[in-house]
Amino acid sequence: PPWRAVERHERVMGRTGWETIVRTVWLPPLPAPGPKPARAVAPAAAPMEPFEVIVLDTETTGLARDARIIEIAAARVDIHSGRVIERRAVLIDPGIPIPRAASRINGITDEMVRGRPAFSQVWERVVAFAGDLPIIAHNAAYDRGRLEYEIDRAGLPRPAWRWWCSKSSARRAIPGQPSYSLQPLMAALGLRTERAHRAMGDVLATAALLHACPDGPPRRRRSPPRLRPARGPVVCVGWPGARGVG
């Protein structure tokens, strides 16, 4: 390419004062344009590592502080996919008659728990199933209190579980509800429930509720994660060595 002529205006001192002169300066040609830089492409998102939690529920002989547990259910759930990986449920003989008021709510009778294992016989397997995963329950303070009462009564060590409460999460995610009990929340969100007030039914309902909450909590934080129930049938079996499947 040819050289370029550029005019420059300069102020100089002449015979009669300051004068403006025009100089022509020849500049070398501009370099040829290079290829356009490639557009930056965002790196592909790394696959999310599985992060599992335990959704747990208990059924008891009543609401008193010394109420006995008559059923425990738990499900291991991957919070990224919402898939129910494995679930367990077992009926427990409390060693005392079940009040009729409790049976009317949960449908568990004395005949159903007769001959079933005691709490102390199944607790070790429940702890092994949960491992070190976070524990989620609807109104977690109640289930935690019932379990700790049974643990202390049996003289067993308390596990170092991290508890999350789906009821507290629902209060933050969907404020203004007339009731934050599990079944009214499910109805308000248009979610179907199965076997309400049985431990495994409430476990699966809790998982569905957490997934349906619009304000999904972030992963790996101290709040319950968003979940969805598994598609298709999931086999529910009792803990190995424990008689009685709910």
Q: How far apart are CA 68 and CA 59, in angstroms?
A: 9
| Neighbour tally for 166: CB within 10 Å | 27
Widest distance between CA atoms in the chain: 125
Q: Are 207 and 227 in contact (CB under 8 A)?
A: yes
What interhelical angle do 140-154 and 119-130 show, nearest 10? 130
For residue 21, give the 3-state DSSP assignment. Answer: strand
Write the CB contacts of 172 (distance below 8 Å, at least 6 apart in sequence). Answer: 215
Q: Are 110 and 98 in contact (CB under 8 A)?
A: yes
Residues identified as active-site: 197
Q: Tokens at residue 172, please?
A: 């933050």
